Amino acid sequence: MKVQNTLTNGTSRRVFTAGAISVVAALALSACGGAAATAPATATAKPDLKASGASTITMWVDAERSPALKDITAKFQADTGIAVKLVVKDFAAVRDDFITQVPTGKGPDLIVGPHDWVGKFVQNGVIAPVELGDKKAGFQDSAVKAMTYNGSVYGVPYAIENIALLRNTDLVPQSAKTLDEVIANGKKAVADGKAKFPFLVGMDPKQGDPYHLYPLQSSMGSEVFGKAADGGYDPKQLLIGDAAGVAFAKKLAAWGDAGEKIINSNITGDIAKEKFLAGESPYYLTGPWNVPDVQKKGIKFAVDELPTAGDKPAQPFIGVNGFFISAKSANALATNEFVTNYLTTEAAQDSMYKAGGRPPALKASFEKAASDPVVAAFGKIGAAGVPMPAIPEMSAVWADWGATELALIKGQGDPAADWAKMAASIKAKIAG
């Protein structure tokens, strides 16, 4: 009996200790949550700021952009005493996190992202307009246009991105204007045994890639949405199903697997890049984000204008990165000061270009960056581009658009019928 007793006593103590440790852990976990939420109130600033809880600005950035902002935030803190806290978030999730967290009051004051988020942000009531005033004139027109939604500017642009045609100059020395010439050059390189693929563009195996194919489409006069009176896209005017669109659909089938095999549905983005880096194709339709790897590989290349498939200019979609202010920012005045009077300066845009390598949206900074011929060439093509539609209705377009294009490239279905069906489906989705 004595033995039994000591045993159970020992057990109960061990049990107690294990239990208590778990509870400590549980409470520590919840305490971390609490501490994180209250942390912004404890930065260094003058006393009156601390009292009003306005001594920091919180900004959500992704890992890539974060270093680009170090200089300008340090200057802002030196000038005003207000610290800009950069919170690094996963780029894939940051948009939806922002939309869900702003209404709770726990969201950031500022977020960095591409302009086509604006529609969704406004739909959910999470961002405030920014008045740039005279500073507007300093930015490239296309950048400000992209940031304008329903007649108001919603973000301060800092970089513009668009695609272009990379040409391996060893394989094809001369540039071409039309897609037909490009195809002919590419096929000749293949026939001469210098290359394996006449033309490369990455296709998502599930969704195709309407973004990369859009310049070809626009060169045939096909657009997604018409323009409203204020210059923005009008969701009521869905133009994609018009005659020009159908003509493009027919061409797509002709370029695809069952036709000339210029656009190959089995070539993913990774495969396309790999093949171009291996020197197996003279042409690669892509954006500036793949240029550093091409340069590293030592491939001699030129940035060509986008080839036309019709008689209109080939307009790529341009994506403009910028800063957006939360509609529920508790420190809106300081945030506005930082955004409109610091992030718009030449020094800020220069340093962001230096750290991030994306062509600046500010004209003065862009001109400096354009001493690099690659930046200049991409910028020239972007100037002719159109902003990617930011209206929320655009998200109803992508899936159908991509899937239909992919099916046509694979040689499935009838171009005219499928394209009309796609347009009807998108229209039904927009109507809700």
Partner 1 sequence: MTDTELRQAGDSAPAAPGGPARTPSRKLNGSRRRTFGPDTTKGTIAKIVLLGLVDAVAVYVLMMLFLSQSWGALAVSAVVVAAINWIYLRKGGLPAKYLAPGVLFLLVFQVFVVLFSGYIAFTNYGDGHNSTKDDAIAAIQLTAQKRVPDSPAYKAAVLSKDGSFYLLFTDPDGRTSLGSTGTPLEQVSGAGTDSTGKANALAGYRTLNFQEIVANQQQILGITVPVSADPADGTLRTADGSSAYQFKPALEYDADAGTFTDTDTGSVYRDNGKGAFATDSGETLTTGWKIDVGMENFARAFTDPSLRGPLLGVILWTFTFAVASVALTFALGLFLAITFNREDLRGKKIYRILMILPYAFPAFLSGLVWSGILNPQFGWLNQTLLGGATIGWLTDPVLAKISVLVVNLWLGFPYMFLVCTGALQSLPTELDEAARMDGAGPWRVFRSIKLPLLLVSIAPLLISSFAFNFNNFNVIFMLTGGGPRFADTDRDIGATDILITLVYKVAFGQGTGRDYGLASALAIIIFIIVATVSAISFKQTKALEEVNS
Kindly identify the residues of this chain, within the stretch 368-397, that bind partner 1 according to CB under 8 A.
Answer: 392, 395-396
* 3-class SS letters over 109-168: CEEEEEHHHHHHHHHCCCEECCCCHHHHHHECHHHHHHHEECCEECEEEEEEECCEEEEE
User: Would you give the DSSP letter of residue 412?
Assistant: -
Tokens of 45: 């600033």
Phi, psi of 204 (to 5 degrees): -70, 130
Number of other CB atoms surrounding residue 308 within 10 Å:
22
Judged by CB, which is closer to partner 1: 376, or 399? Answer: 399
The span of 119-127, 173-181, 349-357, 360-368 binding partner 1 (CB under 8 A) equals: 119-127
Query: Of 72, 94, 200, 334, which lies in the binding site for partner 1, with binding defined by CB under 8 A?
Result: 334
Query: Of 193, 311, 333, 371, which lies in the binding site for partner 1, with binding defined by CB under 8 A?
Result: 333
Tokens of 145: 């246009």
Residue 27 touches partner 1, criterion: CB under 8 A: yes
Task: Write out the binding residues for partner 1, residues 43-102 only, by CB under 8 A.
Answer: 45-46, 48-49, 51-52, 54, 80-82, 96, 99-100, 102
Distance separating alpha carbons of residues 332 and 327, to the nearest angstrom: 8
Residue 259 touches partner 1, criterion: CB under 8 A: no
Query: Of 305, 337, 346, 372, which lies in the binding site for partner 1, with binding defined by CB under 8 A?
Result: 337
Phi, psi of 87 (to 5 degrees): -105, 115
Query: Of 44, 70, 74, 133, which lies in the binding site for partner 1, with binding defined by CB under 8 A?
Result: 133
Task: Write out the binding residues for partner 1, residues 399-428 only, by CB under 8 A.
Answer: 399-400, 403, 410, 425-426, 428
Task: Write out the binding residues for partner 1, residues 281-320 only, by CB under 8 A.
Answer: none
In the complex, the smallest distance separating the C-beta of residue 231 from partner 1, rounded to whole angstroms, is 13
Task: Write out the binding residues for partner 1, residues 262-281 only, by CB under 8 A.
Answer: 264, 266-268, 271
Distance separating alpha carbons of residues 423 and 406, to the nearest angstrom: 15
Judged by CB, which is closer to partner 1: 178, or 340? Answer: 340
Distance separating alpha carbons of residues 81 and 409, to the nearest angstrom: 57
Query: Of 26, 63, 243, 278, which lies in the binding site for partner 1, with binding defined by CB under 8 A?
Result: 26
The span of 121-129, 288-296, 343-351, 381-389 binding partner 1 (CB under 8 A) equals: 121-129
Distance separating alpha carbons of residues 258 and 404, to the nearest angstrom: 15
Q: Please state whether beta strands 110-114 and 56-61 pair in parallel, antiparallel, or not at all (unpaired).
A: parallel
Judged by CB, which is closer to partner 1: 357, or 413? Answer: 413
Residue 103 touches partner 1, criterion: CB under 8 A: yes
Number of other CB atoms surrounding residue 412 within 10 Å:
15
Distance separating alpha carbons of residues 58 and 339, to the nearest angstrom: 12
In the complex, the smallest distance separating the C-beta of residue 137 from partner 1, rounded to whole angstroms, is 11
